[in-house]
């Protein structure tokens, strides 16, 4: 496989990245609607149009910097879908389910990208189309598994933090929820100090290994592919 230039790298990452963050947020909105909250629907946030979900910094600038700079992961976010838990019959329980909907959508998308890589390997082997499908499929697996595991971290305002808030006893949940205003700063410190990957690394790399082994791409080609994608 030839080395990829910056334009090719962006093209391979852009489609999986936009789908990952868009469907993640839309999944939250659809789940909320199922539990009685139509806030996202009324504000037009259940559309699959990525423009409605793009955050200029989190969706464009930060992921682009991750590609250009020698980072080993792609990081970014979309505009959160607005949710009004007061509209739920069981706010704490229902909010936990709504929070899980986003990571579950990423799991489904990772499976879809796995299938795409298989199509490239089995039906277009040795062709530019096959190479493109394999690269994009593996990129899609990485993005969605990383986004899924990242969001499951039990720290508000991440999805895992909202799930934990929903299942803790009420008095503990109230104390835990007070962390949310400082959640982003705490998360940034955990990422910079590598503590996040020490805690979540086994789960992250375990899930990645399962999906990447499922691509059926021979190990030498897979290693070369990962090198091309700067992972």
Lowest-confidence region among 1-15, 88-102, 157-171, 186-200:
1-15
In a domain, 1, yes or no: no
**In whole angstroms, what is the distance from residue 166 CA to residue 172 CA?**
10
The dihedral through the CA atoms of 206, 149, 25, 90 has a sign that is positive
Residue 142: strand, helix, or coil? helix
The larger pLDDT score, comparing residue 200 to residue 4, is at 200
Alpha-helical regions (H) of 35-125? 39-42, 62-68, 91-123
The answer to whether 37 touches 91, Cβ cutoff 8 Å, is no
pLDDT at residue 54, rounded to an integer: 79
pLDDT at residue 13, rounded to an integer: 82
Which residues contact residue 19 at a Cβ distance below 8 angstroms, ignoring those fewer than 6 apart?
A: 109, 140
Q: Which domain, by its residues, includes 76? A: 6-228
78-118 residue pLDDT tens: 788 999 999 999 999 999 999 999 999 999 999 999 999 99
Asked, as a colleague might, if the bond just before 110 is cis with ω within 30 of 0, I would say: no
**In whole angstroms, what is the distance from residue 170 CA to residue 201 CA?**
30
In a domain, 72, yes or no: yes
- Judge whether residue 224 has pLDDT over 80: no
pLDDT at residue 108, rounded to an integer: 97
In a domain, 24, yes or no: yes
| Percent of the chain residues topping a pLDDT of 90 | 42
Helix (H) or strand (E) holding 170: helix 170-177
In a domain, 75, yes or no: yes
Structural domain tally of the chain? 1
Residues tagged active-site: 25
Lowest-confidence region among 7-21, 35-49, 177-191:
7-21
In a domain, 38, yes or no: yes
Q: What's the pTM value of the predicted model, to 2 decimals?
A: 0.86
109-163 residue pLDDT tens: 999 999 999 999 889 888 888 888 988 999 899 889 989 999 999 999 899 999 9
């Amino acid at each position: 496989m030839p080395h990829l230039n910056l334009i090719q790298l962006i093209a391979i990452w852009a489609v999986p990245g936009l789908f990952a963050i868009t469907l993640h947020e839309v999944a939250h909105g659809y789940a909320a609607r199922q539990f009685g909250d139509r806030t996202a629907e009324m504000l037009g946030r259940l559309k699959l149009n990525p423009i409605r979900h793009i955050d200029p910094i989190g969706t464009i600038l930060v992921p682009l910097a991750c590609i250009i700079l020698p980072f080993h992961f792609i990081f970014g976010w979309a505009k959160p879908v607005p949710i009004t838990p007061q509209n739920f019959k069981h706010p704490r329980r229902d909010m936990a389910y709504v929070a899980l909907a986003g990571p579950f959508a990423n799991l489904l998308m990772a499976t879809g990208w796995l299938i795409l890589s298989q199509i490239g390997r089995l039906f277009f082997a040795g062709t530019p189309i096959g190479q493109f499908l394999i690269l994009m499929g593996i990129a899609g697996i990485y993005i969605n598994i990383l986004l899924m595991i990242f969001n499951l971290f039990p720290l508000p305002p991440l999805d895992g933090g909202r799930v934990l808030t929903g299942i803790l006893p009420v008095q503990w949940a109230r104390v835990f929820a007070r962390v949310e205003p400082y959640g982003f700063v705490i998360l940034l410190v955990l990422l910079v100090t590598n503590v996040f990957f020490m805690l979540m690394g086994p789960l992250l790399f375990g899930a990645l290994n399962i999906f990447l082994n499922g691509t059926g791409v021979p190990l030498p080609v897979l290693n070369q592919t990962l090198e091309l994608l700067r992972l």
